[in-house]
């Protein structure tokens, strides 16, 4: 449950105000979360 809450927090982050480096990090993290939940394509 804790991991799911952490994932939810990452998925709901507003990336528009972040630096390019931060945005890239969280974009990749979101991709990993999506792949874990739905399987990579």
* CA-closest candidate to residue 35, choices 16, 7, 6, 2: 7
Give the per-residue pLDDT at 39: 86
C-alpha to C-alpha distance for 40 and 31, rounded to whole angstroms: 9
C-alpha to C-alpha distance for 2 and 7, rounded to whole angstroms: 9
Q: What is the pLDDT along the chain (41 residues), one digit of tens a residue?
A: 999 999 999 999 999 999 999 999 999 999 999 999 998 65
Name the pTM for this structure: 0.80
CA atoms 24, 27, 28, 29: torsion sign: positive
Give the per-residue pLDDT at 40: 61
- Residue pair 10/26 in contact (Cβ under 8 Å)? The answer is yes
Give the per-residue pLDDT at 32: 96
């Amino acid at each position: 449950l804790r991991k799911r809450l952490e994932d939810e927090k990452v998925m709901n982050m507003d990336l528009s105000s972040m630096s390019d480096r931060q945005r890239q990090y969280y974009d990749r993290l979101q991709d990993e979360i999506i792949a874990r939940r739905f399987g990579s394509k």
